[in-house]
C-alpha cells in the first residue's frame, strides 16, 4: 500500500488543474483515479486493481479526506483534497472555454438527461460527442465507438472500481484525452442530488453528510474507512523499524 501513497499527487488543486489543462492543450493522454480509502482497499485485495493503480499511465489524486490524513500519518506531504466532483465541474468549464469535445458515461437515464440539458444551457460551446447512461448492458461498445471520435475529455460515473477498470481496459484505444472516473458526480452536477454545504466541505465532514443522507453506506464506510485507518497505523509502525 505504501507505493500508492508514494504515487499520490501531492501539490495543490490549482497546480493539478494547470497540469490537466496543459495536457489537454498538448493533446496528451491522462487517466486520473480519484482515490479514497475504498480505492486503496480494492488495490490491496485485488491484483488487477493493484496493477492498475501502480501503472505509470495512471495519475492518482487524493479525493477523500481519509487519504489525505493517512498520507500525513505516513509522513507524505499531500497538500489537500482534489475531489472528483470539483475536477468534473472544472473540466466542464475548461471544455466550454476551449470548445473541447466531451463524452459522458454513467448514472441513471434521468440523471444523464438532466446533466445533458444543463451542459447545453450553461456550457454551450461543449461538443458532446457521446452520452450514455450507466445501466446499459454493453459498456464496451461505448468505448469502441468513442475511439473513432476526437474526444478530449471522458467522464465515467459508474462507481469504484467498475469505472476505473472499464477505462483501463480501453485506454490503449486512445492516443489523447483526459479520462476520469467520477463516482457520484453526475448526480450532484445535474442537480439531482445535493452536495454537502460548503461549510461542511471545509470542515472535512462531507463523508458524515453522505452517511446521514444515505445510511445504507454505513457498512461500506466501516469496511473501507475504519479498517483502512487501522491498516495505515500498522503500516506506520512497520515502516518505522525499517
Ligand atoms: N451507477 C451506474 N451504473 C451502475 C451502478 C452505478 O451508472 O451499474 C452510477 C450511479 O447511478 C451513481 C454512480 O454510478 O451515479 C456511483 O455513485 P456513488 O455515489 O456510489 O459513487 P462513489 O462516488 O461513492 O464511488
Output phi, psi for 197, to 5 deg. -60, 155
- pLDDT value, residue 222: 85
Find the mean pLDDT for residues 229-236: 90
Pocket lining: 207 vs ligand 1, CB cutoff 6 Å: no
- pLDDT value, residue 100: 98
Pocket lining: 159 vs ligand 1, CB cutoff 6 Å: yes
Best probe residue, ligand 1, of 35, 63, 106 (max atoms within 8 Å of C-beta): 106
- pLDDT value, residue 223: 81
Q: How far apart, in whole angstroms, are the C-alpha atoms of residue 121 and residue 44?
A: 43
- State the CB neighbour count (10 A cutoff) for residue 231: 15
pLDDT in tens, 129-165: 999 999 999 999 999 999 999 999 999 999 999 999 9
Pocket lining: 184 vs ligand 1, CB cutoff 6 Å: yes
- Is residue 220 a contact partner of residue 38, using CB atoms and an 8 Å limit? yes
Selected residue with higher pLDDT from 9 and 203: 9
- pLDDT value, residue 241: 58
What atom in ligand 1 is closest to the CA of residue 105?
7
Q: How far is the CA of 107 from the centre of ligand 1 (A)?
A: 6
Exposure string over 32-54, b if 16+ CB within 10 A, otherwise e: bbbbbbbbbbbbeeeeebbebbe
Q: How far is the CA of 77 from the centre of ligand 1 (A)?
A: 30
- pLDDT value, residue 227: 87
Q: Considering the chain, what is the average pLDDT of its residues?
A: 95
Nearest CA to ligand 1 atom 17: 184
pLDDT at residue 76 tops 90: yes
pLDDT at residue 99 tops 90: yes
Query: What is the three-state SS of the chain?
Result: CHHHHHHCCCCCHHHHHHHHHHHHHCCCEEEEEEECHHHHHHHHHCHHHHHHHHCCCEEEEECCHHHHHHHHHCCCCCCCCCCHHHHHHHHHHHHHHHCCEEEEEECCHHHHHHHHHHHHHHCCCCEEEEEECCCCCCCHHHHHHHCCCCCCEEEEECCCCHHHHHHHHHHHHCCCEEEEECCCHHHHHCCCCCCCCHHHHHCCCHHHHHHHHCHHHHHHHHHHHHHHHHHHHHHHHHHHCC
What atom in ligand 1 is closest to the CA of residue 158?
14
- pLDDT value, residue 237: 85
Dihedral of CA atoms 103, 107, 113, 119 in degrees, nearest 10, equals -50
Angle at 184 between CA 178 and CA 186, to 5 degrees: 65
- pLDDT value, residue 242: 59
- pLDDT value, residue 175: 97
Nearest CA to ligand 1 atom 11: 107
Pocket lining: 106 vs ligand 1, CB cutoff 6 Å: yes
Record the cell numbers describing residue 221, joined without a space: 464506510
Nearest to 92, CA basis, from 70, 131, 119? 119
Pocket lining: 170 vs ligand 1, CB cutoff 6 Å: no
- pLDDT value, residue 123: 98
Nearest CA to ligand 1 atom 20: 159
- pLDDT value, residue 221: 85
pLDDT at residue 226 tops 90: no
pLDDT at residue 46 tops 90: yes
Amino acid at each position: 500500500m505504501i507505493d500508492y501513497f508514494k504515487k499520490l499527487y501531492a501539490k495543490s488543486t490549482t497546480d493539478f488543474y494547470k497540469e490537466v489543462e496543459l495536457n489537454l492543450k498538448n493533446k496528451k493522454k491522462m487517466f486520473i483515479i480519484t482515490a479514497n480509502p475504498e480505492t486503496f482497499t480494492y488495490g490491496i485485495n485485488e491484483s488487477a486493481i493493484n496493477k492498475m493503480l501502480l501503472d505509470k499511465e495512471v495519475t492518482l489524486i487524493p479525493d477523500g479526506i481519509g487519504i489525505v490524513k493517512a498520507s500525513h500519518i505516513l509522513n507524505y506531504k499531500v497538500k489537500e483534497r482534489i475531489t472528483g466532483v470539483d475536477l468534473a465541474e472544472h473540466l466542464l468549464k475548461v471544455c466550454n472555454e476551449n470548445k473541447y469535445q466531451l463524452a459522458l458515461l454513467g448514472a441513471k437515464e434521468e440523471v444523464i438527461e438532466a446533466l445533458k440539458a444543463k451542459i447545453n444551457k450553461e456550457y454551450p460551446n461543449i461538443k458532446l460527442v457521446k452520452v450514455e447512461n450507466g445501466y446499459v448492458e454493453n459498456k464496451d461498445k461505448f468505448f469502441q465507438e468513442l475511439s473513432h471520435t476526437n474526444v478530449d475529455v471522458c467522464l465515467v460515473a459508474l462507481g469504484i472500481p467498475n469505472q476505473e477498470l472499464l477505462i483501463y481496459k480501453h485506454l490503449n484505444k486512445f492516443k489523447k484525452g483526459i479520462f476520469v472516473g467520477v463516482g457520484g458526480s453526475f448526480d450532484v452536477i445535474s442537480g439531482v442530488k445535493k452536495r454537502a454545504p460548503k461549510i461542511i466541505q471545509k470542515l472535512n465532514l462531507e463523508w458524515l453528510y453522505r452517511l446521514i443522507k444515505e445510511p445504507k453506506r454505513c457498512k461500506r464506510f466501516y469496511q473501507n474507512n475504519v479498517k483502512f485507518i487501522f491498516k495505515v497505523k500498522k503500516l506506520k509502525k512497520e515502516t518505522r523499524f525499517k
